[in-house]
């Protein structure tokens, strides 16, 4: 029987690189997030942080671990769930699961329905302009999340992006030469325009499997995968990262730690304007969402 790397008692948990007992794992997880928060100054006193929660293990871990840090770091938080209004992407219970979580941990809960908030039917638009739903959905959610946070007095947005997501996104964007995107893969993306809310990624150095263990141990209910869930989509690069894991379990952690330090030159660092239609920040004349509506 493996022994906990920390207390040497018997380990029930085997995370990529080390075995843990339950209580040491939880300490390890919280310490890792806390160190990141301090190192990159993710949180300041009196911050109002809106956590974007899909209901999956990553965002639920993010909301939970931040809720535990409220007193220590003296900030306020709220949870936002975005209903994209696409039936295939909506698990009926998701809203209730997140609402229950927020009640239990005394976190204000916000629900944003894309159809009502932006007057946009993603499925219809997808058919009309013949682009896959997922390619529209990400952009629309980023837009709505930023707008909602700003309009409701939040000065930061937290997402549950973890080391697995970041590594995968690095390679996807690398092979597409989207270096301006890669340059933004940092634990904190400070606002560079009055209408853009600073983003933080407290789980930048956490692994998916750590998040899964974290929600299990804390008995946090999570929503099931929907048809288009990130985690159920097949992907060659994802397969490759799994293979790498089996050979080098610290690959992803070390990869994102290097990514924290590297600085990639971007073409137009500060060309953000306001959309002439809706006033939201964009690097074009008309923002992506307004173009969808045209």
Contact footprint for a second copy (CB under 8 A):
174-175, 177, 179, 182, 236-237, 239-240, 243-244, 247-248, 251, 254-255, 258, 261-265
- Give the SS3 label for residue 92: coil
When the beta carbons of 150 and 252 are compared against a second copy, the nearer one is: 252
When the beta carbons of 121 and 245 are compared against a second copy, the nearer one is: 245
Q: Estimate the crossing angle of helix 94-104 against helix 57-73, to 10 degrees.
A: 20
What gap in Å lies between CA 266 and CA 53, rounded to an integer?
30
**How far apart are CB 203 and a second copy at their closest, in Å?**
21
Query: Which own/partner contact pairs does 267-271 have at CB distance under 8 Å and 24+ positions apart?
Result: 267/180, 268/180, 269/192, 270/192
Tokens at 223, concatenated:
């929503």
**How far apart are CB 88 and a second copy at their closest, in Å?**
29
- Give the SS3 label for residue 129: helix
**How far apart are CB 171 and a second copy at their closest, in Å?**
9
When the beta carbons of 171 and 228 are compared against a second copy, the nearer one is: 171
What gap in Å lies between CA 65 and CA 70, rounded to an integer?
9
**How far apart are CB 244 and a second copy at their closest, in Å?**
5
- Give the SS3 label for residue 138: helix
When the beta carbons of 88 and 239 are compared against a second copy, the nearer one is: 239
When the beta carbons of 108 and 269 are compared against a second copy, the nearer one is: 269
- Dihedral sign from CA coordinates of 125, 126, 130, 134: positive
**How far apart are CB 213 and a second copy at their closest, in Å?**
25
Tokens at 116, concatenated:
């009502």
When the beta carbons of 232 and 262 are compared against a second copy, the nearer one is: 262
Count the Cβ atoms, other than its own, within 10 Å of residue 94: 20
* Residues 289 and 121: beta-carbon distance below 8 Å: no
**How far apart are CB 248 and a second copy at their closest, in Å?**
6
């Amino acid at each position: 029987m493996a022994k906990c790397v920390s207390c040497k008692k018997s380990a029930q948990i085997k995370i990529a690189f080390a075995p843990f007992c339950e209580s040491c794992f939880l300490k390890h997880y919280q310490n890792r997030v806390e160190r990141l928060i301090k190192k990159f100054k993710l949180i300041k006193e009196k911050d109002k942080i809106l956590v974007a929660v899909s209901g999956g293990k990553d965002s639920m871990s993010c909301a939970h671990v931040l809720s535990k840090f409220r007193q220590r770091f003296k900030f306020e938080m709220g949870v936002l769930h975005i209903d994209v209004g696409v039936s295939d992407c909506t698990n009926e219970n998701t809203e209730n699961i997140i609402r229950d979580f927020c009640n239990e941990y005394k976190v204000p809960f916000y629900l944003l329905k894309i159809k009502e908030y932006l007057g946009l039917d993603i499925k219809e638009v997808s058919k009309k302009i013949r682009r896959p739903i997922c390619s529209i959905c990400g952009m629309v959610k980023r837009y709505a999340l930023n707008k909602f946070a700003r309009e409701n007095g939040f000065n930061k947005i937290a997402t549950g992006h973890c080391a697995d997501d970041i590594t995968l996104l690095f390679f996807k964007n690398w092979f597409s030469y989207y270096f301006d995107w890669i340059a933004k893969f940092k634990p904190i993306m400070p606002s560079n325009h009055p209408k853009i809310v600073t983003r933080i990624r407290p789980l930048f150095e956490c692994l998916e499997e750590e998040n899964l263990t974290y929600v299990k141990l804390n008995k946090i209910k999570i929503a099931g995968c929907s048809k288009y869930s990130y985690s159920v989509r097949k992907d060659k690069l994802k397969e490759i990262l799994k293979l790498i894991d089996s050979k080098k379990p610290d690959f992803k952690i070390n990869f994102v730690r290097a990514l924290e330090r590297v600085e990639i030159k971007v073409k137009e660092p500060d060309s953000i304007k306001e959309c002439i239609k809706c006033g939201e920040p964009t690097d074009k004349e008309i923002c992506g969402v307004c173009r969808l509506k045209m």
